Every structure is written in C-alpha cells, then in structure tokens.
Amino acid sequence: MRYLRTFGIFFIFLLTASLPVLADVSVEEMTAKAESGDAKAQCSLGVWYHFGLFVTKDFEQAMKWYRRASEQGNANAQFGLGVLYARGQGVDKDEVEACKWFVLSAIQGNKEAVPERERLTNQLSPAQFREAKKRAIAFIVHKENNRKPEAETAITKPTRKEDEDEDEERPAVKPPETKRQPPRETVKETPRQQAIPSVPLPPELATLQTRAEQGDIEAQKSLGQHFETGKDVPQNYTLAALWYRRAADQGDTWAQISLGTLYVNGQGVARDNVEAFKWIAIAVQNGGTWFGSNGKDFVRDMTPDQINEAKSRAIEFRPQKESPK
C-alpha cells in the first residue's frame, strides 16, 4: 500500500476534503478563506505550501497554516503538523511534539496518523512519551474546555505496540523486504462484480478468496494487497487491481486509494491520470487520505480539461454493494 508508514521515503499527500479546491479556487481566494478562519482552507493552504502545489514550497508557511487549522481541531492539519515536526521542516525537529499532534489526529479518527503515532511512541523514551501525552491532554483541556479526567479518557487508547487496540484498522499484510518484478499484463476498466480468475493459493488464503468472491470487502482488500505486495503469493498487480476495484466499487476508501495509486504508477492497469484522480478524489471526499510517490508530478501535469473530466467521473460515481453469490 502507498499509505505513509515510515519517513524514509518522500511521499506527497493531499489532505483536502473538497475536490474543487484543486481546480476552481485561486491561491488568493484560498488565502482569503484561510485568513477568515476557515479551517479546511487553512489546511489546504498548508498542503499547498508543504508540497509546492500552486505556490512556491515554503515549510514555514505550511507550518503557519497547519497550526492555525490544527488549533481549531482539524485532524488532517494536525497530521500535517506532526509530519513537519517529525522531519524538522519549517521548525526544529521535535519528535515529542510530532507525537502529540499524531495522537490528537488519531483520536479524531484519522487512520493515517495511527501508524505514525505508534512508530514514535515506541521509539520515544517513557519520559518523552509521557510528555507527548501530557501535551495532548493539555490541548484538549484548553480547546474543548474539558476537565483533565475527560481529556485523559479521550486519549486512553493504547499507543504502544504491546497494548495495540485490536479494533484499529490495519493492513492485512506488510510489504516484504524485497519485491518481485511486476508482470507486464494490464487490465482495462473492471465491470462491477466481475468474476476474477482463480489462481492457486496457499491453503490459508483459500478461505479469503472465497469470501472475496462472495463480496466481502475486507477480504477483497486483503487479497488485493497480497497480490500487490507479493506476500504469500506471486506478485501480480493485475489481480491486485481487479480485487481493489471490486472493493472500490462498493465504496471502500482504502481500496479506492489503492486502485488510484496503481493508476498513477501504471501497475496492473494502463497509467491513467484522469482515472487515478477520480478514485483518489472519491476517497478523499469521503474521509480518505492519499500518499503517493509520484503524486506531485501526477497532479501538476494534468490539464484543466483532465481535472474537470476526473471531477465529472467522481461526481457520477455511486457505490454499489455486491449481492452475495
């Protein structure tokens, strides 16, 4: 998966929850909205300065706008702020402060903040971890006017690996250390609930495939990731795209982002910026967050007509649950 799991590789991310931002709002208009106190506009402006989208890259400006949105409780901006502190971009590197913002973002439901929160809390010393938690509690007390016990309750979910919350959504498998070469075959658009060729699978995955064929979204995503990463099966981007598409058509944002990323990179499908933008936009509009290694060039290389076409496709999309076979 192309979600941010470590800071060793540079990923570009789009945190905006409104697709028209990318095509219909000028920098001046976005700045005016941000100055007026619009938290979403502030977060969007932070993203633009963070990655040089439509403006010159400026980490200090990104920090400024992320912070203003974060102080209003915007979970995406809190995540962005955590990234800047963790990397020391536009501010002195401070992993305790980064952990604080990842914690605050995660407790609001930002699933992309969870692995970064855990990575840091398992990396920090016990004293540093307690300090990060203390700062997060203080923020909640101040912002929400809560008493300290209520604020502590809000962040009592375990953040260390040994206390991991079993209910936390996680990828079913982890990418292997080495990758096999992707196959050359690609597929075109996949009709909804298209039958996918069965391939020999290890016994432990046979049940997973049966569930996926019956329309189980979690099984479809998991099977797609197995084929994408080559974990326990021969790596096959074509089958990964087919299974991600089945889950994406049912409205799953995780699968939509996975499928969109395959379109960005031309893995298992013909490279198609319009289709990539469509799937990523649908996911982002419904609360997903996208990270992609080629994201900057992908967005900036699109023409206005291509963006408008992607928007039209996204607007026309309607999720459709599969009927069990």
Q: Quick one: angle between helices 126-144 and 113-123, nearest 10?
A: 140
Residue 218 and residue 150 share a domain: no
Pairing of strands 290-292, 12-14: antiparallel
Residue 321 maps to a domain? no
| Burial of 197 (C-beta count, 10 Å sphere; 0-12/13-18/19+) | exposed
Residue 224: helix, strand or coil by DSSP? helix
Q: Alpha-carbon distance 279 to 286, whole Å?
A: 11
Residue 322 maps to a domain? no
- How long, in residues, is the chain? 325
Question: Domain holding 64: CATH number?
Answer: 1.25.40.10
How far is Cα of residue 142 from the mean position of the Cα atoms in its chain? 29
Residue 157 and residue 18 share a domain: yes
List Cβ<8 Å contacts ≥24 apart for 280-284: 280/14, 280/256, 281/19, 281/310, 281/311, 281/314, 282/253, 282/256, 282/314, 282/317, 283/253, 283/254, 283/256, 283/257, 284/14, 284/15, 284/16, 284/17, 284/19
Residue 268 maps to a domain? yes
Instruction: Return all residues near 295 (Cβ < 8 A) that are at least 6 apart.
Output: 11, 12, 13, 14, 51, 264
Transcribe 161-191 into DSSP letters: GGG--TTS---SS---SS-PPPPS--B-PPP
Q: Which residues of the chain have pLDDT under 50?
A: 1-23, 148-151, 154, 157-191, 293-296
Copy the structure tokens of residue 66: 């992320």
Residue 145 and residue 285 share a domain: no
Q: Alpha-carbon distance 8 to 293, whole Å?
A: 12
- What pLDDT score was predicted for residue 304? 80
Residue 76 and residue 157 share a domain: yes
Question: What element of type H or E holds 12?
Answer: strand 12-14
- What pLDDT score was predicted for residue 25? 63
Residue 25 and residue 152 share a domain: yes
Residue 138 and residue 49 share a domain: yes
Residue 153 and residue 55 share a domain: yes
- What pLDDT score was predicted for residue 291? 55
Amino acid at 231: K
Structural domain total, the chain: 2
Q: Alpha-carbon distance 183 to 235, whole Å?
A: 8
Q: Which residues of 145-163 are buried (b: 16+ CB within 10 A; e: fewer)?
A: eeeeeebbebbebebeeee
- What pLDDT score was predicted for residue 290? 60
- What pLDDT score was predicted for residue 168? 40
Which of residues 98, 132, 163 is at a domain's end? 163
Q: How many CA atoms lie within 13 A of 161 on its CB side?
A: 7
Q: What is the pTM of this model?
A: 0.51
| Burial of 137 (C-beta count, 10 Å sphere; 0-12/13-18/19+) | buried
Cβ count near 206 (within 10 Å): 12
Q: Alpha-carbon distance 232 to 204, whole Å?
A: 9
Q: Which residues of 26-42 are buried (b: 16+ CB within 10 A; e: fewer)?
A: eeeebbebbeeebbbbb
Residue 186 maps to a domain? no
Triad 258, 260, 261: Cα angle to 5°: 65
Residue 231 and residue 92 share a domain: no
Residue 207 and residue 106 share a domain: no
Residue 222 and residue 95 share a domain: no
Which of residues 135, 163, 191 is at a domain's end? 163
Residue 122 and residue 36 share a domain: yes
Cβ count near 325 (within 10 Å): 8
Q: Could you tell me the residue range of the domain that residue 157 belongs to?
A: 12-163
Residue 191 maps to a domain? no
